[in-house]
Amino acid sequence: MMKKKLTTFIIACIIGTSIHAGGNTGLGLRISTFSDATDFGITLNHHFARGTTLEGIAEFPNSAVIITGLYEKFHSLTQSHTLFFYYGGGIYIGSGGGATAAGLRGVVGLSYGFKDLPIEIGIDWMPALQITPKIDGSLPIFGLSVRFTF
């Protein structure tokens, strides 16, 4: 049941952002490292006007699924607009092992988009504050994303 919902969510995100495509949308892979584990996932983002971006991340740690939605602000660090600093926050919900958790996430990172290639690479720090089923924090969450832009 969860796999069906996840597949539907990913397809809806791809279709929804493809409508606005034109080099502003990125779809790719993400690797996240925690203090005691590493997991892989899918990342989808869309850059809107005035440096705002919406990003969705689906991660799959240890037979679980974590879905994250983020609102991010991008600021160019170069005149060529290839290197960006970004920050933002959002929410996540995770399910696995018979349990469900939800909470808040922040994000701070750097993103590099190649001028002549449809590739975007990002590194970030994404601390989390779990709210349910109990309050808990996780600070050492670092990630690397590689996206194909269209």
Residue 82 has which token pair? Answer: 């290839």
Q: How far apart are CA 112 and CA 93, in angstroms?
A: 28
26 found inside a domain: no
pLDDT band at residue 3 under the 50/70/90 scheme:
low
Residue with tokens 């969510």: 9
pLDDT of residue 21: 42
Span 63-107, pLDDT tens digits: 889 999 999 999 999 998 999 999 999 999 999 988 999 999 999
Higher-confidence position of 147 and 5? 147
Q: Is the pLDDT of residue 36 over 80?
A: no
Residue 137 in this model has a pLDDT that exceeds 50: yes
CB hemisphere CA count around 89 (13 angstroms): 7
pLDDT of residue 17: 42
Between 90 and 21, name the one with better pLDDT: 90
Q: Is residue 100 part of a domain?
A: yes
Q: 135 pLDDT exceeds 80?
A: yes
In a domain, 53, yes or no: yes
Residue 75 within any structural domain of the chain = yes
Residue range(s) defining the domain that contains residue 86: 2-17+38-149
Tokens 């399910």, residue located:
95
Instruction: Please check the confidence at residue 22 and state whether its pLDDT lies above 70.
Output: no
* DSSP structural state of residue 51: G
- pTM equals 0.82
Phi-psi region of 88 (alpha: psi -120 to 50; beta: other; left: phi over 0): left
Identify the DSSP state of 61.
-
pLDDT of 141 > 90? The answer is no
Per the structure, the count of domains in the chain is 1
